[in-house]
Amino acid sequence: MKIRTKILVFLIIVAGISSLFSIYYSINFLSTKYENTAKENLLKLKEQTAGVFHGYLGELSRKGLFISELNEIAGNIDEPEEIATSLELKVFFLSSINAKVVDLDNRIIVDVKNSSESYINEKTLLYEPFFKRSRNSLLRKTGIVNLGENICFVSISPIMNQNTFEKVGDLVLELPLDSEFSDQIRNMVRAEIFIFSDDKGIGTTMLDNNGERFFPDSFDLINAKGEMTIGEEKYLIGTFKIYDHVDKEIGSVIVAYDISDILKTKNLDVRSMMLVFFTVFFIVIIVSVLIGRWLGKPLKTLSESAQSISKGDFDIKIGIKSKDEIGDLSKLFNSMAESLKIQKKDMEKMQLYLKNMIDSMPSVLIGIDRDGKVTQWNVEAEKKSGLVPEDAIGKKIEDIFPQFASQLEKFQKSIKEKIPQKMEKIVERVDDELKYNDIMIYPLISNGVEGAVIRMDDITTRIRIEDMMVQTEKMMSVGGLAAGMAHEINNPLGGILLGVQNILRRVSPDFKVNREKAEELNLNLEDIFKYLEKQKIIYFLEVIQRSGERASDIVTNMLNFSRRSESQFEKADISSIIENTIELATNDYDLKKKYDFRHIKITREFENEFPEILCAENELQQVLLNLLKNAVHAISDNKEKSEDPEITLRLFKEGSLGVIEVEDNGPGMDRETTKRVFEPFFTTKEIGVGTGLGLSVSYFIITNIHKGTMYVISTPGKGTKFIIKLPLEEK
């Protein structure tokens, strides 16, 4: 077979096989990609829907507590028309929530309907287990209740007489899980929602061609294996169960995610990809025919000439019969013999070229022999050591870089065993700052030369970026946890504070009602109160109240940490904010009395004509105050206190960013503490001194609300520096 034919057949076979494999793996890749995308979107929608669904319970409980404590409700318990008017005026606040006021005899005296249906009546209040409880109970109750073929969110809140603190009734809020409720969820998650109770549909967001509510077959929908076709659209199906107040399964919520657009996009990509592959395949065939036609005979001539040159015949000359690439290749063969004569000169040029390449590299490159003496020295090594190659070559590597003295054994081992060695994150101190380097040892393994090439890369910036990325991931994952914990803590905490407050009021001689009750029992309320004070019972109750309020502050910080702020952003002078914060710290009781803030030197290094920045002034002031407090605590708790405690505040521009630095000369922190310093609840203070939320909330305010960055640099025994970078221009 001729060379031209072989080339043609070979190229066609290669092109065909390559195209088939490319089409197969590309289609498989696209299918997997779009399938995974759809599943990930469904999982996110399902988790989001479940969060919204259960969030209504907390919202219902909070609204019930708020309304039941209004004077216009408790004060008008004997005037139902006044209460009804008050509740009707709150239709925007209650939205689709039905409100009922029930007296102590389980009679509904006010019934305000804000939804299309209500399933709670006096019979339900008497016989439904969820509502059976002591009528004197002061506890709120919230849960999911199964009322026959219907499911409702229900909240029961006691209504208290504001003067006598006696219970006068209950406020019952009812939110039916119907189609109207399903629409509310869909508006938040952008997916079709179906709610079933005992396989019967009670809520749907889907409409038929006539605009009527439409339920697919309940059995097919509930038992669908991942996906289902409804009408002309294809959906991925996700389900989570509904459990009532005693954890009994009473229904299910189904999330239907429309993947029709994803399927259309996938099919379009597949068709486009196949068109491109077939076009390329036909072009390759045409090119193969042309190559086979024109390269056959010239290639044979070139092959024979190459064999002659390989045998040492450099006098051979190839006749040049064309001015194309084959002619150029023929000229190359003719000049090869001549090129061998000037090989030495070319090698010298190559050495110079390689040296330029080595000098252009951003890494420190050092060549050493088996005795550890320098044989090669690039520009980066010159910059780092301050020695030119002439002064460095021939010297011991440890004499130039003392930090290598502890690594000499590894250098010798790498040279002897011909195995590369890698040392990561080697620490060195430069101008009181820690630097991190990666060191790689490459042994020379050819031509009988014994030695090695040492490459050293400064990775300090990368380490800091990695720490910041890890910290950001932690903050994102903890945000959801903080919100959930805060909401769960709020309910029992409210009950504790309410109970303590009522006890203090009931025993206080300042209230006329208390004195009248004591006189009915022939008791002297002042003496009783003195006894309680004498036995420190009043003190203990006040301690409980203060502890509860402190816990409430912690919960508030957790909520601020977990949700997006709605603060007003305005242009502000950062230097003025810093000065105001210093003034606040100066007047802070703990900093003034306990830590003696006035005796700490405050150094200001502010850049002139620093522009105003768009920011939330109060929240930025909160961040700076937290940093000042931490700096004071660190300086005061330092066992080896400096004779001149100092906090330095800097303000300057760095490109398009404004930079704020808060630096102290306290004891500093080790690397592990520095990595965890922004974690919520992490603190190095004693129990009861700090909550561990100050820096985490500050980090959230800077990174999430102000779209800036915040990180810390600290060296044990050398102090700590917090760095904040904010965008100068609004994005």
Distances (CA, A) of 172 to 95, 246, 350: 15, 19, 89
Q: What is the pLDDT of residues 683-705, one digit of tens each?
A: 766 654 555 677 888 888 898 88
Domain ends where: 396, 428, 458?
Answer: 458
Rounded CA-CA distance 255/514 in Å is 56
Q: Which residue has the higher pLDDT, 73 or 445?
A: 73
Q: What is the pLDDT of residues 209-242, one digit of tens each?
A: 788 888 776 555 555 557 777 777 788 888 889 9
Q: How many domains, in total, are found in the chain?
A: 3
Same domain as 713, residue 581: yes
Q: What confidence score (pLDDT) does residue 164 get?
A: 79
Rounded CA-CA distance 662/721 in Å is 6
Same domain as 586, residue 709: yes
- Name the average pLDDT for the chain: 79
Q: What confidence score (pLDDT) does residue 396 get?
A: 85
Same domain as 723, residue 577: yes
Provide the residue type at 631 as one letter: A
Buried b / exposed e along 238-261 (16+ C-beta atoms within 10 A)? bbeebebbeeeebbbbbbbbbbee
pTM of the model: 0.39
Mean pLDDT value of segment 557-564: 51
- Which of 351-360, 378-387, 637-646 holds the top average pLDDT? 378-387
Domain ends where: 416, 440, 458?
Answer: 458
Cα dihedral 713, 714, 719, 723 in deg (nearest 10)? 20
Same domain as 489, residue 625: no
Inform me whether the pLDDT recorded for 586 exceeds 80: no
Q: What confidence score (pLDDT) does residue 652 get?
A: 95
Same domain as 692, residue 627: yes
Same domain as 717, residue 629: yes
Three-class DSSP category at 284? helix
Rounded CA-CA distance 388/245 in Å is 80
Q: What is the pLDDT of residues 531-551, one digit of tens each?
A: 888 888 888 888 888 888 777
Q: Which residue has the higher pLDDT, 66 or 294?
A: 66
Q: What confidence score (pLDDT) does residue 725 get?
A: 94
Q: What confidence score (pLDDT) does residue 160 get?
A: 86
Q: What confidence score (pLDDT) does residue 648 get?
A: 94
Contact call for residues 262 and 227 (beta carbons, < 8 A): no
Lowest mean pLDDT among 284-293, 642-651, 708-717: 284-293
Mean pLDDT value of segment 614-636: 86
CA atoms 356, 357, 360, 363: torsion sign? negative
Contact call for residues 493 and 548 (beta carbons, < 8 A): yes
Rounded CA-CA distance 256/245 in Å is 26
Model confidence at 713, pLDDT cuts 50, 70, 90, reads very high
Same domain as 451, residue 483: no
Tokens of 482: 């903080």
Q: CATH no. for residue 439?
A: 3.30.450.20
Q: Would 714 be classed as within a structural domain?
A: yes
Same domain as 591, residue 610: yes
Residue 282's Cα: distance from chain center in Å? 49
Q: Would 82 be classed as within a structural domain?
A: no
Q: Would 361 be classed as within a structural domain?
A: yes
Rounded CA-CA distance 256/42 in Å is 8
Same domain as 483, residue 619: no
Q: What confidence score (pLDDT) does residue 561 get?
A: 45
Q: What is the pLDDT of residues 184-205, one digit of tens each?
A: 888 888 888 888 887 788 888 8
Q: What is the pLDDT of residues 424-440, one digit of tens each?
A: 777 777 666 677 888 88
Q: Would 580 be classed as within a structural domain?
A: yes
Q: Would 308 be classed as within a structural domain?
A: no
Same domain as 425, residue 525: no
Q: Would 577 be classed as within a structural domain?
A: yes
Same domain as 478, residue 447: no
Model confidence at 565, pLDDT cuts 50, 70, 90, reads very low
* Residue 130 DSSP label: G
Closest CA to 480 of 488, 490, 468: 488
Taking each helix axis from N to C end, the angle separating 260-310 and 3-68, rounded to the nearest 10 degrees, works out to 150
Same domain as 624, residue 534: no
Can you name the residues that pair with 662 across neighbouring β-strands?
649, 722
Domain ends where: 516, 547, 578?
Answer: 547
Q: Which residue has the tokens 């090594």?
A: 381
Q: Would 69 be classed as within a structural domain?
A: no
DSSP 409-432: HHHHHHHHHT--EEEEEEEEEETT
- H helices within 521-573, ranges in order? 525-534, 537-562
Q: Would 83 be classed as within a structural domain?
A: no
Model confidence at 712, pLDDT cuts 50, 70, 90, reads very high
Q: What is the pLDDT of residues 454-488, one digit of tens each?
A: 888 887 777 766 665 555 555 555 555 556 666 67
Distances (CA, A) of 60 to 351, 395, 562, 681: 79, 79, 21, 30
User: By residue range, what is the domain housing residue 516?
Assistant: 465-547
Residue 333's Cα: distance from chain center in Å? 63
